[in-house]
A and B are shown apart, each in its own frame.
Chain A
Amino acid sequence: MTTIHVRYFAGLREALGPQQTIDLPAGSTVAELRALLLPTSARHAELLAPGRAVRCAVNQVMAEETALVPEVAEVAFFPPVTGG
């Protein structure tokens, strides 16, 4: 088990709060982490549900759902980006 620092931005930040920590089995993927976050609250279950357009960054680099989460990691979930 490793403790992962999860951050949220934009609409997800407003609904879920700016951050939370969660214990994650070593060798888990981003998708597995996202699935573990679903039971946190009804809002998590809705907004992080599979099929929702949610982007992810691991240690501040864009990551696919299949990416492994390192033992020491800041993982961020956020909506598709809309800058520029």
Chain B
Amino acid sequence: MTDAPIRTSTTTTTASRVSIQTADFDLSTEVAALRAADGGVGAVATFIGTVRDSSDGHRVSAMELEHYPGMTERAIEAMIDAAQARFDIRAARVVHRVGPLAVGAQIVLVAVTSAHRGQAFGACEFLMDYLKTQAPFWKKESTAAGSHWVDARNSDDAALRRWGIDAANASNPANTSIANNAGKP
């Protein structure tokens, strides 16, 4: 018998924190992997976003999600770093699907572990609020009237502002700087 398997079993491996994928995900599998071999976990908070069958009164038949390969992963990694700095959490994982998605399909998973529930709840909500307004994904909905890109919501910017982060997405302060620059020498 070699000692290779023993080394493997005692090495702490850092699992991937972010996955952008076309394939579906399984909540139980993801949570089991996040909790694995961490006896200090006393709380697991998870959020799953799914495709609704209607949007602003229109019946939605399908959805397509686009992302910015490379940037999307880096942006979410940075968000998890921010969550680690702000909350007393043990681990976090984000899975986000891209490509064509049917009504009812799972879109996104955020899972967070901590010693006690408060920090896990908080970090999970923080990560979702951050992701909604700062991660480069774009939804295109198909309805009977055709397909259209989904508009960003001001309410999502407001949700991020609750955490003291004023990084506008749907609202448009960035463009005032263009107007300001117009008069620049």
List chain A positions with a Cβ less than 8 A from chain B: 7, 9-11, 13, 29, 31-32, 34-35, 50-57, 60-62, 64-66, 76, 78-84
Closest B residue to A65 by beta carbon equals B177
Chain B positions within 8 Å of A, measured between CB atoms, are 49, 65-68, 70-71, 74-75, 96, 107-108, 128, 131-140, 149-152, 167, 169-170, 172, 174-175, 177-179, 181-182
Find the A residue at minimum CB distance from B141. Answer: A82
- Given the interface pairs A10-B138, A81-B169, A83-B132, the reply to whether A55 lies near B71 with Cβ below 8 Å is no
**CB contact under 8 A between A81 and B108, given known A53-B170, A60-B71, A61-B71:** no
A47 to chain B, nearest CB (A): 12
What's the Cα separation between A51 and B174 when bound, in Å?
9
Give, as a whole number of angstroms, the nearest-CB distance from B136 to chain A.
5
The total of Cβ contacts below 8 Å across the A-B interface reads: 110
Given the complex, which residues of A lie within 8 Å of B137, measured CB to CB?
81-84
B170 x A78 contact (CB < 8 A): no
Chain B residues positioned under 8 Å from A10 (CB to CB): 66, 138, 140, 149
In the bound complex, do residue A80 and residue B152 qualify as a contact, i.e. CB atoms below 8 Å apart? yes
Do B138 and A83 touch across chains, with their CB atoms under 8 A apart? yes
CB-based nearest A residue for B148? A11
Bound-state CA distance A35–B102 (Å) is 39
B51 to chain A, nearest CB (A): 12
A79: which B residues are within 8 A, CB to CB? 138, 149, 152
- In addition to A9-B68, A11-B138, A57-B68, 14 A-B residue pairs with Cβ atoms within 8 Å of each other are A7-B68, A9-B66, A9-B136, A13-B66, A29-B181, A53-B170, A62-B167, A79-B152, A80-B169, A81-B138, A83-B107, A83-B136, A83-B139, A84-B108
User: Which single residue of chain A is at the shortest CB-CB distance from B96?
Assistant: A83
- Residues B68 and A76 in contact, CB atoms below 8 Å apart: yes
Interface centre among A57, A64, A82 (most CB of B within 10 A): A82
User: Which A residues touch B175, using CB under 8 A?
Assistant: 50-54, 65
User: Which residues on A sit within 8 Å (CB–CB) of B138?
Assistant: 9-11, 78-79, 81-83
Contacts of B135 in A (CB 8 A): 81, 83-84
Beta-carbon contact of A82 and B152 below 8 Å: yes
> In the bound complex, how far is the Cα of B75 from the Cα of A10, in angstroms?
18
What are 19 inter-chain pairs, A to B, with CB distance below 8 A? A7-B68, A9-B66, A50-B179, A53-B152, A53-B170, A54-B175, A56-B174, A57-B68, A60-B70, A65-B177, A65-B178, A65-B181, A66-B181, A78-B138, A79-B149, A81-B133, A81-B134, A83-B138, A84-B132
